[in-house]
Amino acid sequence: MLPAKTAVILHAIDQNLITTDMTPPRFLTKSGGKTFNRIDIEIPTSDGKTIPARAYQPIGEGPFPMIMYYHGGAFMEGYGSIDTHDNVARSLAIQTKSVVVSVGYRVAPKYVFPTAIEDSYDALVWTAKHARQFSGDPMTMAVAGDSAGGNIATVVSAMSRDRNGPVLKAQVLYYPLTTFQDLELPTREMYDSGYYLLSRQVMHKARDSYTPYQSMWTNPYTSPLNAQDLTNLPPAFIITAEFDPLRDEGEAYAERLYEFGVPVETVRYQGTMHGFISFYEVMYKGKHGMQESTQFLKKAFADEIEPAPFAIRVVNVPKGTEKVRDQIEAYAIAGFLLSQKYLPFKLIYI
């Protein structure tokens, strides 16, 4: 019932055929010259500690726009890091020609709310202060993140508003978690088995680990969907996926932003699952979503975002020749993944 490529990737993840350090087959990627420098750094936090971060600095003469990237991973140790999301941060840097700082905020169970968001806000403030160190422009900044990182990105936007922090041009949220409360959201029931990458079990574990006290669930810095005030937040670009338990809350949050006068563009990708942007190198929809979000960022940096009536733009599954191509690539990916696991040697694609 799923598009071929989505089904192949989901099955490969389920069977542990895809690992975080795997690179895509060469027949699906393009080579090119070096366009940025990657720099591992340590950022001081307000409690006297430091957190790891990774800066992607375009080669050339700045100043460049700056994007803070907050990785997904259920707010928990072992589910996500700046390493697992290196490809997304790298692509944002290349496509927008911006300095991207990917933040290694501290996670549960050792560190509960609000450590992750305080780390993330501290990183924003520190980066704005040291922008010239990376040839960046502190007056042209945005935040972005996926899943739990999408939650953090929009929360950091609110924190910066509330604390008179750096002014942000935009927020890009990939399938964000927007509420910890037990609301009636149909997609949480429809797609929570875990087959579509994100399970109810993981969601409950994340909530218990990151927000161990129920009083935390109503905080606007954990559940922005239920916040009383969403005014004066930066323009938002929100991507959701059809087969995602977080789809309804992401789209509901987009509508609430619009109701508070925030320019918002919302795109739902049919035939895709939670986390699909991370597979942009092998999934057309992931590549399309990455391109759409980077175009939004470019417009935001140029102050070209115009308010528009609220709508959810739907990108449908491939048809015709595009569907055939997608199926052929799906079988090619399947063959590649199987070869990596079962053959005693590595196939080389040229």
Give the span between the Cα atoms of 89 and 313, in whole angstroms.
Answer: 25
Quick one: CA torsion of 176, 17, 100, 275, rounded to 10 degrees?
-10
The owner of tokens 């980066």 is: 127
Give yes or no: 274 in active site. Answer: yes
pTM value? 0.90
Residues of the chain with pLDDT under 50: 20, 27-28, 343-350
The owner of tokens 């990737």 is: 9
Give yes or no: 137 in active site. Answer: no
Do residues 160 and 171 touch, judged by C-beta distance below 8 A?
no
Cβ count near 35 (within 10 Å): 13
pLDDT tens figures, 246-288: 999 999 999 999 999 999 999 999 999 999 999 898 888 999 9
Annotated active-site residue in 81, 147, 223, 293 = 147
Annotated active-site residue in 119, 137, 146, 244 = 244
Annotated active-site residue in 120, 274, 278, 293 = 274
Given this model, what pLDDT does residue 35 score? 83
How much helix, strand and coil, in percent to the nearest 5, is found in the chain?
40, 20, 40
pLDDT tens figures, 227-246: 999 999 999 999 999 999 99
Given this model, what pLDDT does residue 194 score? 87
Give yes or no: 83 in active site. Answer: no
Residue type, 311: A
Enter the tokens of residue 102.
Answer: 């990917």
Residue type, 148: A
Question: Which domains occur in the chain, in start order?
Answer: 34-317 (3.40.50.1820)
